Chain A
């Protein structure tokens, strides 16, 4: 790989991180389709690179979330048991699966993400009372700078959350994505965790999940530094730009454009699964 190609991969990683950051999905969802569709990177190499890039993104992002008090570490560790186990299983399946299957599953996950972006459901979580039951000792609080108040919450339906996290982990290991695309809505809608805490906890959790994926791919020789390094640097730079843009640009106005991009990538991946390559894409 020459230096120009490395810069192009880095640029694609940065674009995927900007998109992921502005949509709150993480960069991995876009990274694998961009690498495979436009640069002809083998899906397994792209997934391995994505897993390391997700770790990088999580390490940087979690530091900020931890300092802001958004991360519920106890919850992350509890959900980590099923999520990380799921990721190991998913990664082992990815190693033996053929590229068409991976493209198909990726296309379906992108379709789901695009539709969930359009629907964009989230629930407001009322503050927990001191007398509310907390059998798993997961009560947590953080200061919401937007309102200046303290948000207190107790995660609900923890056993169901553990099951859903295991499923998110399998997808994460299978596709090299962080799993935040499933974890964040699941935590908010199912476990009644405020969005900021869900995003902060998910950011920390996806790093550990991606480690499990990356190590399985490392064992199989699927971690290619010529792809990983541009992905790491691109994701890091892109997520910084994305966070900056998110606070300045009204993301809601851009969602429809992003959703169109996601539909395009989803359909491209689904077609690729059946051996069809759209014009302008790498075969």
Chain B
């Protein structure tokens, strides 16, 4: 690999990368916080974690009941959803940059990810 002293400016590359990095950072922080609180609550409540990740409505119900295992399950779902959120950020950034070609390509990726998410809807 060789190096050149004359960089080619690509503002749109950075304009897409920065918002995407922010979404990933916040997704991780939220998931980590939920996981930490959920684990501490489970320890205090003396409850074991579930051996299977429940459906979303069950998880919401558990959180309403103040169940730590519900928060742990939500943390896992937030982590799984974070790359999907980052893909949405890429679509928005591409549209803002006027890069309609890759806005469409990323839109197609999003559709495929939603298909896989639909497979898990229960």
Q: Is the CB of A226 within 8 A of B51?
A: yes
B50: interface (CB < 8 Å): yes
Q: Is the CB of A63 within 8 A of B79?
A: no
Residues of A within 8 A of B82 (CB): 55, 59, 207
CA distance A53 to B79 in the complex (A): 9
The interface residues of chain B, by DSSP majority, are classed as helix
CB within 8 Å of B: which of A113-161?
A: 124-127, 130, 137, 139-141, 143-144, 147-152
B117: interface (CB < 8 Å): yes
B57: interface (CB < 8 Å): no
Known interface pairs A59-B83, A127-B3, A226-B49; A219-B76 also in contact (CB < 8 Å): no
Q: Which of A55, A150, A212, A215 contacts B4 (CB 8 A)?
A: A150
Residues of A within 8 A of B39 (CB): 229
Q: Is the CB of B17 within 8 A of A69?
A: yes
Q: Which of A73, A124, A141 contacts B7 (CB 8 A)?
A: A141
Residues of A within 8 A of B2 (CB): 124, 126-127, 149, 151
B53: interface (CB < 8 Å): yes
Residues of B within 8 A of A216 (CB): 116, 119-120
CB distance from A278 to the nearest CB of B (A): 28
Q: Is the CB of A229 within 8 A of B72?
A: yes
Known interface pairs A59-B28, A77-B102, A149-B4; A140-B13 also in contact (CB < 8 Å): yes
A67: interface (CB < 8 Å): yes
A81: interface (CB < 8 Å): yes
A189: interface (CB < 8 Å): no
Residues of B within 8 A of A60 (CB): 28
Q: Is the CB of B87 within 8 A of A208?
A: yes
Known interface pairs A62-B24, A224-B53; A211-B84 also in contact (CB < 8 Å): yes
Q: Taking CB as reference atom, which chain A residue is nearest B19?
A: A66
Residues of A within 8 A of B17 (CB): 66-67, 69, 71, 73
The proximity string for B residues 32-69 relative to A, scoring 1 for CB distances below 8 Å and 0 otherwise, is 00010001000000001111110000000000000001
CB distance from A164 to the nearest CB of B (A): 17
Chain A contact residue count (CB 8 A cutoff) = 63
CA distance A144 to B102 in the complex (A): 26
A195: interface (CB < 8 Å): yes
Q: Is the CB of A147 within 8 A of B13?
A: no
Q: Is the CB of B105 within 8 A of A74?
A: yes
Residues of A within 8 A of B92 (CB): none
CB within 8 Å of B: which of A71-86?
A: 71-74, 77-78, 80-81, 84-85
CA distance A226 to B105 in the complex (A): 37
CA distance A141 to B13 in the complex (A): 9
The proximity string for B residues 75-104 relative to A, scoring 1 for CB distances below 8 Å and 0 otherwise, is 010011111101100100000000101100
CA distance A74 to B93 in the complex (A): 11
| CB-CB nearest 9 A-B residue pairs | A149-B3, A150-B7, A219-B120, A66-B21, A215-B120, A223-B53, A212-B116, A207-B83, A218-B120
Which B residues form the contact surface with A (CB < 8 A)? Answer: 1-8, 10, 13-14, 16-18, 20-21, 24-25, 27-28, 31, 35, 39, 48-53, 69, 72-73, 76, 79-84, 86-87, 90, 99, 101-102, 105-106, 108-109, 112-113, 115-117, 119-122
Which A residues form the contact surface with B (CB < 8 A)? Answer: 1, 52, 55-56, 58-60, 62-63, 66-67, 69, 71-74, 77-78, 80-81, 84-85, 87-88, 124-127, 130, 137, 139-141, 143-144, 147-152, 194-195, 207-208, 210-212, 214-216, 218-219, 221-226, 228-229, 232-233
